[in-house]
Structure 1
Amino acid sequence: MSKKWLLAMTLGAALVSGQALAEDKLRVGTEGAYAPYNYVNDEGKLAGFEIDLGNELCKRTNMTCEFIQNKWDSIIPNLLAGNYDAIMAGMSITDERKKSITFSDEYKPVDPSLYLVKKGTQLDFDKLEGKSVGVQGATIQDDFAKGKWAAKNTLKSYEKADQSLADVMAGTVDVVLADGEFVRTAVAGSNGELEVVGPQEMIGGGIGIGMRPDDTKLHEKINAALAEIKKDGTLETLTKKYFTEQK
């Protein structure tokens, strides 16, 4: 066997090996600022419902999860740029987002968005003129607030949802509109200083894993594993671990 042929075979094997290694890893983009879905714990590590769920999905698909923290407003562009393979970031399935990415089956049903205020704040939701409303930018709540309140209120947009908590406590904003589980978690950790008021807003669809449209094999693999996790009760167990029971 010639040296050139041996070299070609060695290089080819290396390329195949590299592809196999790449296929064995699932790079997951997440925000790390949206408890209980995803957050940075006291040890400085990513934690939460979606971190546990992602690791369970990887175990069942024989992949290794690598979680990559990314700001919310660029989380879809960086998926499309190839900086990671999937998004698990409390992302609602919407028709607008489906124009650029594809979603797995939902792993969390649609949750009503709730209004969060400093305890004792009185608001008339039929007459919110002059009140300030806080939302996380580029979210379904942001779009909803712009459509409903922009002409009557001062809207304040935050890069991260948890940044709004300090402002509502300080009275810099009168009310925050956010995903129900985020609001309930904030209330539970506020030592009685925050509360839920007003109507529930049904916005967007359930929550799923965002992927690039051309990653059809990954999509199929993720959906198959997700179906197993739902069927054997693992998803229900994780949901009960992280989410409050709605009444």
Structure 2
Amino acid sequence: MNKYTKIAAIAAVSLTVASVGAYTAIPSTSAKSTPAYQKNLHKKGTLTIGLEGTYSPYSYRDKSGKLTGFEVDLSKAVAKKLNLKHEFTQTKFDSLVAGLGANKYDVVYNNMGKNKEREKHYTFASPYLYTKTVMITKPDSDIKSAADLKGKRSAQSASSNFGQAAKKAGTKIVSVPGFAEAIDLINSGKADVTLNSQDSWGVYKKAHPETKLKAKTTKLLDNTSASPMVNKKDKALAKKITKAQKELKKDGTMSKLSEKYFGSDLTKKP
């Protein structure tokens, strides 16, 4: 090998080594990046769901203590569609919104309706349930229509849409943590009325056939809907949840769950 041939050979080897080094230094582009909807999850690989757990038939504990209900089963199915595990965090209704804002969970599934104030700070996925509003009273009550609510004592979760509607109608709000407590106050005479969903009343009446309370529909919140609620920054998650629910509606899962827990299909928009 002459001088020039030797120099050329050394240069070729150096170029090859440099090329290999340059190639191996570049990160692999084949590795999957974290999907946008998973980037802000409370726990990696898990959809953490905020709910009451005391609001039958939406979410409640059965006789064995197991958490069950329409929203429990639906949110489990949604998490599965998103390739995520599921985890539930229980809290009182009036703490649900604050807990979401504090990132204690990723989404609220708790018969949550849209209103202007919530939409300023949170994002909603598509509705999964539609129902009417009823005024629940004692049988001898003089409340016959929404016009009769003014000045009456209404047992409500103050931050709920029902509570806001009752306040707007001129009632004096008697704050309660949930539906069961509201019913107790009416039975005891400490409240005159409570506004809630027709489906919740139907389930209560079925479980308590001895009740003498009565319910009248009202247009104060006619045809209300329930939607999953997430933080503003989680628009990608809201879109994925909407897509998952559409798939569950198409394959009949949502209808079956509604029939199971409510005795009718409330997943169709009136």
Selected match of 1:104 from 125, 131, 144: 125
* Contact 1:101–1:210 (Cα < 8 Å) also in 2: yes
| C-alpha distance 21-106 of structure 1, shift in aligned 2 (>3 A) | closer
How far does residue 61 in structure 1 lie from its aligned partner after superposition? 1.5
Return 5+ residue gaps in structure 2 as ranges: 1-33
How far does residue 202 in structure 1 lie from its aligned partner after superposition? 4.5
In 1, Cα distance between equivalents of 2:262 and 2:42: 35
* Contact 2:42–2:48 (Cα < 8 Å) also in 1: no
* Contact 1:116–1:194 (Cα < 8 Å) also in 2: no
Give the aligned residue type for 1:159. P
* Contact 1:136–1:178 (Cα < 8 Å) also in 2: no
Return 5+ residue gaps in structure 1 as ranges: 1-15
Selected match of 1:117 from 137, 140, 160: 137
How far does residue 53 in structure 1 lie from its aligned partner after superposition? 0.2
2:23 maps to none
| C-alpha distance 194-33 of structure 1, shift in aligned 2 (>3 A) | farther
| C-alpha distance 227-121 of structure 1, shift in aligned 2 (>3 A) | same
Q: Give CA-to-partner distance per residue, 1:112-164, whole Å, 9 cap, x none.
A: 1112224x3232434456643222221111111111123xxx43121222211
| C-alpha distance 147-202 of structure 1, shift in aligned 2 (>3 A) | closer
> Identity percentage over the alignment?
27
Partner of 2:246, secondary structure, is: helix
| C-alpha distance 192-24 of structure 1, shift in aligned 2 (>3 A) | same
Summarize the alignment of residues 1-247 of structure 1 with structure 2, pairs less than 5 Å apart. Answer: 22-109=43-130, 111-118=131-138, 120-125=139-144, 126-128=147-149, 131-150=152-171, 154-203=172-221, 205-245=224-264
Structure 1 length normalisation: TM-score? Answer: 0.82
How far does residue 102 in structure 1 lie from its aligned partner after superposition? 0.3
Q: Give CA-to-partner distance per residue, 1:48-74, whole Å, 9 cap, x none.
A: 100000111112221111010012112
Structure 2 length normalisation: TM-score? Answer: 0.75
Say how many residue pairs are matched: 226
* Contact 2:123–2:235 (Cα < 8 Å) also in 1: no
In 2, Cα distance between equivalents of 1:21 and 1:76: 15
Partner of 1:54, secondary structure, is: helix
* Contact 1:26–1:64 (Cα < 8 Å) also in 2: yes
Q: Which has the larger radius of gyration?
A: 2
Q: Give CA-to-partner distance per residue, 1:146-196, whole Å, 9 cap, x none.
A: 11123xxx4312122221122222222222211221222222222321433
In 2, Cα distance between equivalents of 1:21 and 1:189: 36
Give the aligned residue type for 2:133. S
Partner of 2:225, secondary structure, is: coil
Shifted more, 195-204 versus 181-190: the winner is: 195-204
In 1, Cα distance between equivalents of 2:152 and 2:220: 22
Partner of 1:216, secondary structure, is: helix
Partner of 1:122, secondary structure, is: coil
| C-alpha distance 214-123 of structure 1, shift in aligned 2 (>3 A) | same
* Contact 1:103–1:208 (Cα < 8 Å) also in 2: yes
